[in-house]
A and B are shown apart, each in its own frame.
Chain A
Amino acid sequence: EPEVTQTPSHQVTQMGQEVILRCVPISNHLYFYWYRQILGQKVEFLVSFYNNEISEKSEIFDDQFSVERPDGSNFTLKIRSTKLEDSAMYFCASRSDRESSYNSPLHFGNGTRLTVT
């Protein structure tokens, strides 16, 4: 079964450094998302992406964050200057356009655990 893949599985970085988290969505999917989950807390929406542009973003997704689809397969999340509170698990998800928009589930990758020291 096709799956969403994320790299790296774990990233440790120092406060103030830039990080890029990478995702390869399922190949025929057209909607892409980034979510994060701080340890012990709920899964929180960051941003959605469709047709090469951001379609929606949350309050968390401030100017320090950006997303890009540099080629036909990768979908990246960049944090320009990391803060301690950015430590979390970051999940990429994708969704098919072929199923009805209303019932198509998100398919999640295994996540990147970001630790900011």
Chain B
Amino acid sequence: EAGVTQFPSHSVIEKGQTVTLRCDPISGHDNLYWYRRVMGKEIKFLLHFVKESKQDESGMPNNRFLAERTGGTYSTLKVQPAELEDSGVYFCASSQDWAVDNSPLHFGNGTRLTVT
């Protein structure tokens, strides 16, 4: 089966611009997660979709970040306007089941975002 796919792999933008990251989960996985690793910090949870619904968005840093999952398939994460501190690696993960004991997360390769 195809894994979790993220696009682009790298993005370099200027402060104030807009960037949209895309994640294609494993087919049939209802649960989709976004995580982020800012330079020198831990990987941190951003949000969790179950199908097209946001189940938990407690990790979203501020209202410059907008995540969508229309139709419950792929997801996008838009940053508008981007700030320097948004630089980092954005990971997407998916799982079949809500309970991670039964269904561990499968991660994509990440999108490395650099804001200059």
Tell me, yes or no, whether A binds B.
no
B-side residues, CB < 8 A to A, are: none
**Chain A residues within CB distance 8 Å of chain B:** none
